[in-house]
Amino acid sequence: MQLRSGYILVLIVFLLLGLQTNAQSRKELEERRVQLNEDIEKLDELLKSTRKDRKNAVTQVTTLQSQIDKREQLIYTISNEVNFLEESLKRNEEVIEALTEDIKRLEVDYVFMIRNAYRHRGVKSRLLFLFSASSFNNAFQRWQYLKRYDDYRKNQATAIIRTRESLAKKVSRYEENKYQKQSLLQAEECQREILETELIIKDKMLGRLKSDERQIMNDLEAQKMARQKLFRKVTKVIASNTELKEENSAEEEEIVILESELTSKFGRRKGKLPWPVEQGVITNKYGKQQHPLYKAITTFNSGINIKATGSPEVRAVFNGEVIDVFSVPGNENAIMIRHGDYFTVYSNLSETLVEPGDIVRTKQTIGQIKEKNGELEVHFEVWKSKDRQNPSSWIAKR
């Protein structure tokens, strides 16, 4: 009986540990779902603000595609949550079964003890049991046995009460998980229906855009030229700055140490840097991308584009030194900040609040976003020496 009890206890502990790990993963999914819902709401607001303006037709398609991507991620996240809940329900069922079996065993043992105590009830029988001992030591051992027996009986009663309480909690949690699973399944179905509607809207918007093909192609060419000009300017600034750094490092060892420390600190913040705007959503990702209307046309984004949904202020993402402030046609004003061997670029600014040589701190306001067609969009880049980085991998997840 003791071996069986020990097995059940080990089983319950193992299942509970599994539930704890499951709960941690589930929490991460819940946080991801909440963030995706917030991003979708922000994108929806952006769509509503530009829907009546034909000049923003391509922007609308791009924003809608971002919303579709987010919604697909949301559906995937909800689906994973449902899978976790199903696993949790299965584990809860096993825990409930184990606890129920444990209660039955405890109750059987307790009933046996009560019956045995009833047959030998009374002070006389206890005294007779003690005085019938063959020696004083034997009488003392019998007294200890009676005491341990009484303690064990009390412990059994307490164990039954606690196990019943634990069982009640598990049953309650089981019912709660069932309800949550049903709610998530309904949410997933709702999101799939919205996604289908958005895909239809996207197709209609693309159909209307085909009539403006000449203007779209002109805009694409202008954007391409603007990206190239910004790229050439950034690489030129980095090259000249690297040369200057090498000249200085040959003269002052202290500068080398400080630069190395700043590089190391920036590197350790990968995935944790604050966003360059207080609130916003990424509407144009890093790297090669296909045009939403002309599939044969691809563009390369050296950074990411973030549409601000709150303040137009742009912030430095880390401590550093402003190394250049310049203007590029199509990208408005731009600021470059050096963080040791790393560089960050902020463009499409209407106003700059810093100058070359200024030392800036994390989250310090450095400029204002230029408003275009009622939208606030900042272009943000991260470089390590002469190598482009994906800024999405550097800023904190939202």
User: For residue 7, is pLDDT > 50?
Assistant: no
Q: What is the average pLDDT score of the chain?
A: 77
Which residue, 394, 203, 395, 390, is CA-closest to 300? 390
CA angle 378, 380, 381 (to 5 degrees): 160
Give the whole-angstrom CA distance, residue 274 versus residue 270. 10
pLDDT tens per residue across span 26-38: 778 788 788 788 7
- Where are the CATH 2.70.70.10 domain residues in the chain? 252-393
Q: Who has greater pLDDT, 396 or 373? A: 396
The pLDDT score that the predictor gives to residue 12 is 47
Question: 109-113, 127-131, 218-222, 338-342 — which one is most confidently predicted on average?
Answer: 338-342
Tell me the mean pLDDT in the region 362-382.
Answer: 91
Q: What does the block give as tokens for 45?
A: 């607001």
Q: Considering only 30-44, 70-84, 117-131, which range has the smallest mean pLDDT?
A: 117-131
Q: What is the pLDDT of residues 342-360, one digit of tens each?
A: 999 999 999 999 999 999 9
Predicted pLDDT at 210: 65
Question: Does the structure show a pLDDT above 50 at 17?
Answer: no
Residue 267 scores a pLDDT above 60: yes
For residues 67-94, give the mean pLDDT. Answer: 81
Predicted pLDDT at 2: 43
Tokens of 270: 């990968």
Q: Which of 73-82, 265-274, 357-366 has the lowest mean pLDDT?
A: 73-82
Task: Lowest mean pLDDT of 5-14, 145-154, 246-255, 292-301, name the range.
Answer: 5-14
pLDDT of residue 215: 66
Three-state secondary structure call for residue 241: helix
Strands 332-339 and 320-328: antiparallel
Model pLDDT, residue 124: 47
pLDDT at 333: 94
Close Cβ partners of 64 (under 8 Å, ≥ 6 residues apart) = 43, 47, 198, 201, 202, 205
Percentage of the chain surpassing pLDDT 90? 27
Phi and psi at residue 194, in whole multiples of 5°? -65, -40
pLDDT of residue 105: 73
Question: How many other C-beta atoms are found inside a 10 Å radius of the C-beta of residue 385?
Answer: 13
Taking Cα atoms as reference points, which of 279, 322, 282 lies closest to residue 305?
282
Taking residues 228-250, what's their average pLDDT? 81
Model confidence at 43: pLDDT above 80: no
Dihedral over Cα of 213, 218, 224, 227: its sign: negative
For residue 282, is pLDDT > 60? Answer: yes
pLDDT at 178: 79
Mean pLDDT of 10-38: 64
DSSP per-residue codes, 6-71: HHHHHHHHHHHHHHHHHHHHHHHHHHHHHHHHHHHHHHHHHHHHHTT-GGGHHHHHHHHHHHHHHH
Tens digit of pLDDT for each residue in 184-225?
Answer: 888 888 888 888 888 787 777 777 666 666 666 777 777 788
Specify the CATH class of 252-393 in words: mainly beta
318: pLDDT strictly greater than 70:
yes
Average pLDDT of the segment spanning 14-33? 63
Question: What φ, ψ does residue 185 adopt, rounded to 5°?
Answer: -65, -40
19 Cα distance to chain centroid: 20
- Residue 271's region, left for phi above 0, alpha for psi from -120 to 50, else beta, is left
**Tell me, what's the pLDDT at 123?**
45
- Tokens 């089981």, located at residue: 174
Q: Which residue has the higher pLDDT, 182 or 275?
A: 275
pLDDT at site 218: 74
Sequence-distant (≥ 6) Cβ neighbours of residue 374 within 8 angstroms: 49, 50, 53, 56
Q: How confident is the model at residue 3 (pLDDT cuts 50, 70, 90)?
A: very low
pLDDT band with cut points at 50, 70 and 90 for residue 367:
very high
